[in-house]
Structure 1
């Protein structure tokens, strides 16, 4: 007779069953683990949506390589035509260094300043962004208010508000960076503000403020305004410090650097750049006009969109086919001179001022632009170009991949 405590006999090949209590406990554990995982995911999503996601480890490593820290002051520069946004950090040596360049997924309007509510123009100028302008509960993931209208805009009757840098890819006067892009930018500026920076400077430009770009757009109605922006841009690039900006008589005015050596660099650059613009025009550089149906987008995102990538909401995608069309207003002058003897004539070469001649520190080589990379949001680097600020390190592009 079998004891009650003895196990039931099991025939060969028949699986042994688990006791009912063990099965119940296992099911309960699995359900609890699933609930905990879902709760953790929700908590992580809530943390990110509330603007508390940490700076990526790769970016922290890049900060260390640039000799800066998360708490160090930050400065942001944007360029419409190139559809790029740069994040700069103050290094231990007291100079701002370029940390990362992010592609802009969408901006709207034309090159030129915002004038009035509803004109779809993204702002251009010098703005200040403080903690109260940070929005962790944005409808577009995360955002910060650029500060438009500033004193210059108000002096010219500018109207409108809530011109943001935000997520997704839709713009009506804002800079749309995608959720992933704005998430990293937001984390960087958040930590700088928490580190003691009262407000960071946001420099918004129509294009990279080179002498060549200014000379080519000399017939544009906004050229006088752009000359003012160029002065502020040149001062920053020469001194490596935040531009001291004020508005007087409806114009941007820039205070001198407190460091005499840096002020000397700024003055030399201003003279040099003005001479380059004059030389380009005298030598017959063409004058152009760049038009848009409604703003533009970085080529990396255009390539992704063609492959069906999900960039979020994209505003007026049909307008992108007519973005950045250049019309020649004044054709270039032919560069020639009469031959005075037999044989081929020597070519006429334009010798422009070279920044490195006046400041050897500017001869550092530094890659500084983004190239198309259609897969995975990975934006690679083009070849080397001249560094704007001596002592800065090679630039790593914004990596928006998982």
Structure 2
């Protein structure tokens, strides 16, 4: 009976343990991830320290992409609970036009609220991280049967709807994301058409933009402004009409 009790205690211990424990170790079994750590960890530590961060204390990070500016921002949460900008990577190339992705093969980079849902340590583009497109909003708002998918932030400098930042910078970016994921955190990714800090009514026409932009952009703007003002991430849900709702 005592043996059974002890086994139950051990089982409960493992059930309550962080489900991501060992994630970094597993990732580092892949040669490209080991190379990324070998080449970038030391310089990342110095750069983080110079900007008031600590490598060992990386917890929650937030990724914000701005398509027109071709900026991929990495924000890191500090002990004050607010996110602080660590670094901006530039898109190496761009496909499609401003506006949401609606279907397979349209070459569009999605716009909306996503998460990193896959780590690919053996990508065709060196290293890559999957973006959770299509989400509920995308599935509701697209009239097309095939919405597309397999959207990644990756290395190299080619794209048909993804965000490439070169092999050198994907090494840094991948290491930062592994460090956060290893502590059990989800990594949010918000993709905007541009910095949404102006009156959208000044846009004379939506005819130059992708299908769906006129509906989506006014829905995304409050999310952009909310983070810009607070530097915290509010809870965001998606209603049955495919609209983002700030909670």
Q: 8 Å contact 1:245–1:252 — kept in the other structure?
A: yes
Distance in structure 1 (CA, Å) of the matches to 2:130 and 2:34: 16
- Match for residue 228 of structure 1? 219
Offset of 1:69 from its aligned partner? 4.0
What TM-score results when the alignment is normalised by the length of structure 1? 0.49
Distance in structure 1 (CA, Å) of the matches to 2:234 and 2:34: 31
Alpha-carbon RMSD across the aligned residues, in angstroms, is 2.1
Offset of 1:244 from its aligned partner? 1.3
Change over 3 Å in CA distance of 1:223–1:66 after alignment to 2 = farther
Q: Kindly report structure 1 stretches of 4+ aligned residues shifted beyond 6 Å.
A: none
Where do residues 67-78 of structure 1 align in structure 2 (5 Å cutoff)?
67-70=53-56, 71-78=58-65
Q: Secondary structure at the match of 1:211?
A: coil
Distance in structure 2 (CA, Å) of the matches to 1:231 and 1:218: 20
- Match for residue 83 of structure 1? 70
Aligned mate of 2:97, from 90, 110, 130: 110
Distance in structure 2 (CA, Å) of the matches to 1:193 and 1:150: 20
Distance in structure 2 (CA, Å) of the matches to 1:108 and 1:122: 7
**Cα deviations across residues 265-309 of structure 1 (Å, max 9, x unaligned)?**
xxxxxxxxxxxxxxxxxxxxxxxxxxxxxxxxxxxxxxxxxxxxx
Aligned mate of 2:184, from 186, 191, 196: 196
Bigger Rg, structure 1 or 2: 1
Distance in structure 1 (CA, Å) of the matches to 2:34 and 2:44: 20
Aligned mate of 1:182, from 145, 170, 186: 170
Q: Secondary structure at the match of 1:164?
A: strand
- Match for residue 153 of structure 1? 138
1:251 aligns with 2:243: yes
Where do residues 310-349 of structure 1 align in structure 2 (5 Å cutoff)?
none
- Match for residue 31 of structure 2? 47
Q: Secondary structure at the match of 1:190?
A: helix
Q: 8 Å contact 2:68–2:193 — kept in the other structure?
A: yes
Q: 8 Å contact 1:68–1:89 — kept in the other structure?
A: no
- Match for residue 205 of structure 2? 219
- Match for residue 52 of structure 2? 66
**Cα deviations across residues 221-274 of structure 1 (Å, max 9, x unaligned)?**
62331111111011111121123111112211111xxxxxxxxxxxxxxxxxxx
Alignment: residue pair count:
207
Where do residues 376-391 of structure 1 align in structure 2 (5 Å cutoff)?
none
Of stretches 202-211 and 64-73 in structure 1, the one that deviates more from structure 2 is: 64-73
Change over 3 Å in CA distance of 1:118–1:51 after alignment to 2 = farther
Distance in structure 1 (CA, Å) of the matches to 2:122 and 2:34: 6
Distance in structure 2 (CA, Å) of the matches to 1:68 and 1:96: 14
Gaps of 5+ in 1: 1-43, 256-402
Q: Secondary structure at the match of 2:129?
A: strand
The structure with higher relative contact order (CA 8 Å, sep 6+) is 2
- Match for residue 40 of structure 1? none
Q: 8 Å contact 1:66–1:91 — kept in the other structure?
A: no
Gaps of 5+ in 2: 1-27, 208-212
